[in-house]
Structure 1
Amino acid sequence: MDNDNQGPRILITIWILTGLSGLFLLVRLFCKLMTKRLLWWDDHVLTLSWIMLLTSVVLVTISVSKGLGKHVSAVPVENLSSMGLIGNLTGTFSILAAVWSKTSFALTLLRLMQGRMKTLLWAIMASVNVAMGLNALFMWIRCAPAAKTWNPYVPGTCWAPDVYPRFGMFAAGYSAAMDFVLALLPWSVIWKLQMKRKEKFGIAIAMSMGFFAGATAIMKTIVIPTLASPDFTYVSTPLIIWGAAESAVTIIAASIPVLRILFRDLRSLSRRYYMSGSRAQAQGSRSNAKRNGAVMVSEEKNVDEWSDRGTLGGSSRKIIQVTEITVAVEGGGESGGHRSGDV
């Protein structure tokens, strides 16, 4: 790969990230629909976030065709202004993808938390959306007229070169910090669930994938100063890649907990298949009995199976259905019956 042309590297990386995150999102939605659960706001916001990510990646692809990834000296002068405008649009959609993916996960947690934790979640959502929203807005108003932000040849004035990158670093850094907070919050709920410690750790880790999102946000924060570089078409490569990675990883992290439904149902299906085989074998043995007998069959039902806490696998509320079956063989072939009841 040509070191003077980072375009192919950009495209391969961001399209893989977008495709992978889209796959996780589709499986998340499939799991919810498969279990007849209604899609909620967190699902819709996460889907919108992925659409913003896809839009930004399409715009980057267009920019690469115009010279993004090459040194600015190798880019045709007539392409610079259009690349600048596309760059502003890409940055806006990328910011929206990042902030809405975090908002989606916060909305998911909102349904699990109570009291002060809910207030904290609302504060996090509001503050992150304001900080990132201002970051997107400043991208367009840092020059007067606004056209000068993407076309340096337009007469006008702009903020000092380091002002916008500094605010961008603040907003991205704050967003990264909130990723870590959101990743830690589920532990307070999970640790109170009635289940084995091993299962608690499994669920907590699944709910804490936001740590990886926070790590990608930190990496993006580090490379934001490249916005002020004269050779921005080349040195902005890491910023573009980490920007896409932040949103993609957050979408994946927000989808992983819901995938527990799929794994749980697959285990349950396997268990039922095994039990049905064992029960058929046992019934074959009982058919040779020479006297009346009673068989007690019990079945546990999780009444919280489709709720958000049920998704975590932590509900301890169950109904045990007991069925008594009386079988008469030889001498009383006409008698038989069953009784059932819930405990």
Structure 2
Amino acid sequence: MGLHESYPAYGGSGPSDFRLGIALGTVATVFMVLRVYVRLRMNKFGTTALIWSLVAWLFTAITQIFGILSILHGLGNHITIVIEVGELRNFLLYTWITVFFFNLAIPTGKVAVAAFLVEMNSQSNPKIRRSLIVVAALNIIFNIPQVLLVWVQCSPPNALWDPLRQSQCDHGKSVYYTYFVGAVAAISDIYLAIIPITVLIPLRIDKKLKWGLSFLMGCGVFAGAAAIVRTWAAKFIMSEDSSYGAGILFRWGEVEEWIVLITMSIPPVWPLFRPLTHRFIRSTVNRSQPQYKQNGDYGNYGSTTRGNQSIAPPVVTTTISISSQKGATASATMAGPSSSADSLTRFGEEAETPHTIFSHNGDPEGWVEMSHFKEQNRI
């Protein structure tokens, strides 16, 4: 027996929203499990960010569960069908419970991202640190009225899910405040996505790796776009076909919630995927190294000959490694002038010097590991 037979109000855009939420929720849950594993087995810091992330995941999962119940009872389907099959009461009840937990999940997710970026940034940039704290605080403060407004729209409050007493409800204030809070959420998502990119761009690392990490860590911009759309869709709560319109709001709301959790989990779980990228980075660097000849021809580097001996010019190398081990210190080792053979040998070695990507003072905040990567330093 299919869901349509068990739940006659199930239909419209509900089934697609159902599948989308399950898919994104599964990916986010896998990432959260990997984060816990990395925290327990590999990294000994980042506890605060992980706790906030788990709380955000819990609220989002509860929101998704009640959202599914709402879908089964008419969310995303046309209101005429919901009324015809007698599911209006259940639709109203589960939908408003979903909205309540949604209003808890959204700010918690923003706080979790901010806490994560604060730990990554450490003390290297106090202005960024303070701005992240402000973003987290504003999302909490502005969402407190939003949470409370859900239960004061109707007098008495239980009229909220009573089909016969909807005239006793005024959704206007809640919807108008949603526009404001949604704008704050969208701006916060975009800002939190840009911060890690601004730190990655100046780094002199492999360009493919740099842009790949920038793209992955900047996917929070998509959460900001989803926040804009779901804020716009809040107007459907007061429309004649509210059950169908609210489905649009729920769809983009779940996209925003899950994308925030997914993108914030990419850097912490990077140590698990570093071995897969290590070979790619090393092979790319090896192909880019200059090939020195023994006949005195060094291209633009020049040459020095003394009899039949050819001496290569000094080569200065910089070894950069980003480690997730606790107590990692930021350092860059420069090799002094040496012979051509010694320089080439150093390029082939796999020396590892810990370096934190978001900290310049040696604090143990190395979330992203890219060890064994070597780059020639330009003078």
TM-score, shorter chain, exceeding 0.5 = yes
Provide the secondary structure at the position in 2 that maps to 1:120: helix
Which residue in 1 is equivalent to 2:133? Answer: 122
Provide the secondary structure at the position in 2 that maps to 1:143: coil
Q: Residues 68, 197 of structure 1: CA spacing in aligned structure 2 closer, same or farther, 3 A cutoff?
A: closer
Which residue in 2 is equivalent to 1:241? Answer: 251
Which residue in 2 is equivalent to 1:134? Answer: 145
TM-score w.r.t. the length of structure 2 is 0.67
Question: Is the contact made by 1:98 and 1:250 (CA closer than 8 Å) also made in structure 2?
Answer: no
Q: Deviations over 1:147-199 (max 9, x none)?
A: 2233253498544x433212111111210011111112224433454645554
Q: Residues 249, 270 of structure 1: CA spacing in aligned structure 2 closer, same or farther, 3 A cutoff?
A: closer
Which residue in 2 is equivalent to 1:62? Answer: 69
Task: Specify every segment of 5 or more residues in structure 1 that has no aligned partner in the other structure, as ranges.
Answer: 273-294, 319-343
Q: Residues 158, 22 of structure 1: CA spacing in aligned structure 2 closer, same or farther, 3 A cutoff?
A: same
Q: Residues 271, 178 of structure 1: CA spacing in aligned structure 2 closer, same or farther, 3 A cutoff?
A: closer
TM-superposed deviation, 1:238: 1.0
Q: Residues 208, 148 of structure 1: CA spacing in aligned structure 2 closer, same or farther, 3 A cutoff?
A: same
Letter in 2 for 1:153: L
Which residue in 1 is equivalent to 2:367? Answer: 311
Q: Distance in 1 between matches of 2:161 and 2:172?
A: 16
TM-superposed deviation, 1:92: 1.5
Q: Residues 106, 308 of structure 1: CA spacing in aligned structure 2 closer, same or farther, 3 A cutoff?
A: farther
Provide the secondary structure at the position in 1 that maps to 2:120: coil
Which residue in 2 is equivalent to 1:166? Answer: 176
Which residue in 1 is equivalent to 2:13? Answer: 6
Provide the secondary structure at the position in 1 that maps to 2:19: helix
Which residue in 1 is equivalent to 2:351? Answer: 300
Letter in 1 for 2:368: L
Which residue in 1 is equivalent to 2:330? Answer: none
Alignment of 1:150-161 (within 5 A): 150-154=161-165, 157-159=168-170, 161=171
Q: Residues 271, 256 of structure 1: CA spacing in aligned structure 2 closer, same or farther, 3 A cutoff?
A: closer
Provide the secondary structure at the position in 2 that maps to 1:27: helix
Which residue in 2 is equivalent to 1:145? Answer: 156
Letter in 2 for 1:96: L
Q: Residues 61, 120 of structure 1: CA spacing in aligned structure 2 closer, same or farther, 3 A cutoff?
A: same
Letter in 2 for 1:104: A
Which residue in 2 is equivalent to 1:98? Answer: 106
Provide the secondary structure at the position in 1 that maps to 2:367: helix
Q: Bigger shift: 71-80 or 229-238? A: 71-80
Q: Distance in 2 between matches of 1:129 and 1:122?
A: 11
Q: Distance in 1 between matches of 2:364 and 2:210?
A: 15
Which residue in 2 is equivalent to 1:280? Answer: none
Task: Specify every segment of 5 or more residues in structure 2 that has no aligned partner in the other structure, as ranges.
Answer: 283-344, 358-362, 375-379
Which residue in 1 is equivalent to 2:55? Answer: 48
Q: Distance in 1 between matches of 2:27 and 2:64?
A: 13
Q: What is the Cα-based RMSD across aligned positions, in Å?
A: 3.5
Tell me how many residue pairs correspond in the alignment.
Answer: 295
TM-superposed deviation, 1:244: 0.7
Provide the secondary structure at the position in 2 that maps to 1:221: helix
Question: Is the contact made by 1:99 and 1:128 (CA closer than 8 Å) also made in structure 2?
Answer: yes
TM-superposed deviation, 1:269: 8.3
Q: Residues 305, 299 of structure 1: CA spacing in aligned structure 2 closer, same or farther, 3 A cutoff?
A: farther
Q: Deviations over 1:38-59 (max 9, x none)?
A: 4512112212222222212221
Q: Distance in 1 between matches of 2:277 and 2:166?
A: 66
TM-superposed deviation, 1:242: 0.7
Q: Deviations over 1:178-228 (max 9, x none)?
A: 111111222443345464555443433333221111111111112110111
Q: Bigger shift: 218-227 or 256-265? A: 256-265
Matched, 1:204 2:214: yes
Letter in 2 for 1:145: P
Q: Deviations over 1:59-89 (max 9, x none)?
A: 1222233333332222258643343222221
Q: Deviations over 1:312-341 (max 9, x none)?
A: 34799x9xxxxxxxxxxxxxxxxxxxxxxx
Q: Which has the higher strand share?
A: 1
Q: Residues 155, 98 of structure 1: CA spacing in aligned structure 2 closer, same or farther, 3 A cutoff?
A: closer
Question: Is the contact made by 2:220 and 2:260 (CA closer than 8 Å) also made in structure 1?
Answer: yes
Question: Is the contact made by 1:213 and 1:253 (CA closer than 8 Å) also made in structure 2?
Answer: no
TM-superposed deviation, 1:126: 0.6
